[in-house]
Structure 1
């Protein structure tokens, strides 16, 4: 492996900066692990915005589109980000029954490693990764554009 980008303020030892981007000289197979369905991952997928009203707030919640009390699964396709106001308004109803529209249909993100790289960059870290991650534009909502 070779270092392509380095943290100039972090030394591993004198004369050797910590690499932040490395290029592997041979392919290393990484076992596939599905991306876990967590609040943090759902918020990142949805660009940290309510999918009903579009507000970006620190007081976001997870909404089950088909409520779990009505048989809805806890799955990528049935959860979305909602502000507390929209989540309370929707309550135990479907968006249609509540007269609400989703900004986009939720889906499972394409790739665990790509999703994680985008999440790291969106949170303000590792800006140097951007030129190596296809499709990254550098805005919070762009991660959602790379969802299947």
Structure 2
């Protein structure tokens, strides 16, 4: 068994990232090589794909896993997505929800203005270009005479959110349901 200590520098690749799969090969998480080796050492996981690198101890050298699979099923939590500027712009596809202008220069607009009791929740915020946001200002839709292209909704829970906006290793791609 390889003994890993906190003092081991990363030249041994223990901080490398490993894809963790459920028993049914569904992606669960991304963990460090240290955690992956620990799971394998405890008999909870098996390596599926090894990287070209090795991990060394004083007495052994083993292939560094790139993808491991648990021997048992883990329920994937489906948590609601946190509202953030970036998540909102992705939900709205970087498009103004009033004039349909595609731009990276977006602002957050509250459909029911906060000054009139509107909340900062998924169902009350949309992406707006600066011109439309200034035109609407602190007015309601009726007062501003602007029309929404689509009603704002909370995005559905996505168990694969950890793979969005990140570079995916080539050997992980067969296990991820879409090109993230």
The CA deviation at 1:102 is 1.6
Q: Number of aligned pairs? A: 128
RMSD: 3.1
User: Do residues 132 (structure 1) and 176 (structure 2) align?
Assistant: yes
Of the structure 1 ranges 64-73 and 105-114, higher mean CA displacement relative to structure 2 is found in 105-114
* Residue number among 116, 137, 148 corresponding to 1:91 in the alignment: 137
For 1:79 and 1:36, the matched residues in 2 are separated by 13
Instruction: Judging by fraction of residues, say which structure has more helix.
Output: 1
With CA pairs under 8 Å and 6+ residues apart, which has the higher RCO, 1 or 2?
A: 1
* Residue number among 113, 120, 137 corresponding to 2:159 in the alignment: 113
- Contiguous gaps of at least 5 residues in structure 1: 139-148
Provide the residue aligned with 1:58 in structure 2. Answer: 104
- Contiguous gaps of at least 5 residues in structure 2: 1-45, 56-60
1:120 counterpart SS class: coil
Q: Are the counterparts in 1 of residues 97 and 127 from structure 2 also a CA contact under 8 Å?
A: yes
Larger radius of gyration: 2
Please list every run of at least 4 consecutive aligned residues from structure 1 whose deviation after the TM superposition is greater than 6 angstroms. Answer: none
Query: TM-score, normalization: structure 2?
Result: 0.56
Q: Are the counterparts in 1 of residues 79 and 157 from structure 2 also a CA contact under 8 Å?
A: no
For 1:107 and 1:83, the matched residues in 2 are separated by 19
